[in-house]
Chain A
Amino acid sequence: MSIAPDWIHALQGGVAIGAASSLLLLVNGRVAGVTGIFAGALTPRAPGFDWRALFLVGLLAGGALAKVLFGAAGSAAGTGVAQALAAGLLVGVGTRLANGCTSGHGVCGIARLSPRSLVATVTFIATGALTVLAMRRLA
């Protein structure tokens, strides 16, 4: 029996994400929640702008590095620009209202066993699943 490469890559990526979140906690004492970090970096004169901006530069650098190492940083297959604009707006409003996304709630919050993060994660996976179902029915 062989394990599909997808699963191994997913696990490798997950371990790297967990290690990166732990590194940020160890050096800065901060939670690696991408929404909060991105929101904080939208105001250049706000306190804590510098470390947030550098974390975001790192997110892009990691993508560029993946392109060199693995041949691709990702694929936007099936997502048109208009669709991406609508999606971005929903994600921006939603994650800001919920004070977190897949990283802050889904990884860091669940690792802390935060009840808020458990509720958030169950909710966004449920509405995500319903949306995919609706998209498939309408397609």
Chain B
Amino acid sequence: MSRAWGALVGALAAGTLFGLGLARSGMTDTAKVRGFLDFTGAWDPSLLFVMGGAVLVHGVASRLIARRAAPLFDGRFHLPTRRDLNASLVGGSALFGVGWALGGFCPGPGLTSLASGAPAAIAFVVAMALGIRIVDGARA
């Protein structure tokens, strides 16, 4: 397989497995997400296992993969290198948390939920695209 085709097929396969995992995990269930965030009420801790399982698998696998000189279908790894803590990181994450609780969707599950055809999922994704464009427009 050529490098270009390999990268595209790989991205499609990774996205599909990612979406399948999100839907299986409970992250695409808005009421369940709110239950996970409801620490002082009827807390549903099961979604801890989503992050736990994902971090464990990726924590081990990504270290093994990083020993390679390069990925299979790209000349180099593209990993974030920033280490600065700033207002944009904290303020942005704070806003994200409010939106996550309000809608019950974070970006991945919002996109995967489009497959359910739920009007709320469609509205969420359209508004999310607008929000991203607003920030990109202000930064440009």
Interface residues of A (CB under 8 A from B): 4, 6-7, 9-32, 34-35, 38-39, 42, 50-52, 54-67, 69-70, 72-99, 101-103, 105-112, 114-116, 119-121, 123-133, 135-136
Cα–Cα distance between A86 and B102 once the two chains are bound (Å): 8
Would you list the 9 A-B pairs with minimal beta carbon distance, nearest first?
A: A92-B131, A62-B19, A58-B15, A13-B25, A14-B53, A87-B103, A74-B28, A88-B127, A97-B92
**Does B99 lie within 8 Å of A91, measured CB to CB?**
yes
Q: Give the chain A neighbours of B118 by CB distance below 8 A.
A: 74-76
**Does A51 lie within 8 Å of B11, measured CB to CB?**
yes
Q: Give the chain A neighbours of B115 by CB distance below 8 A.
A: 60-64, 66-67, 73
> Interface size (B, Cβ < 8 Å)?
113
- Chain B interface, DSSP helix/strand/loop, else mixed: helix
**Does A58 lie within 8 Å of B93, measured CB to CB?**
no
Using A18-B53, A32-B18, A62-B112 as known contacts, say yes or no to A97 and B91 having CB atoms under 8 A apart.
yes
- Chain A interface, DSSP helix/strand/loop, else mixed: helix
Q: Give the chain B neighbours of A74 by CB distance below 8 A.
A: 23, 28-30, 109, 112-113, 116, 118, 121
Cα–Cα distance between A83 and B103 once the two chains are bound (Å): 6
Using A20-B14, A60-B111, A62-B16 as known contacts, say yes or no to A70 and B102 having CB atoms under 8 A apart.
no
Cα–Cα distance between A15 and B62 once the two chains are bound (Å): 13
Cα–Cα distance between A102 and B103 once the two chains are bound (Å): 14
| B95 nearest in chain A by CB position | A94
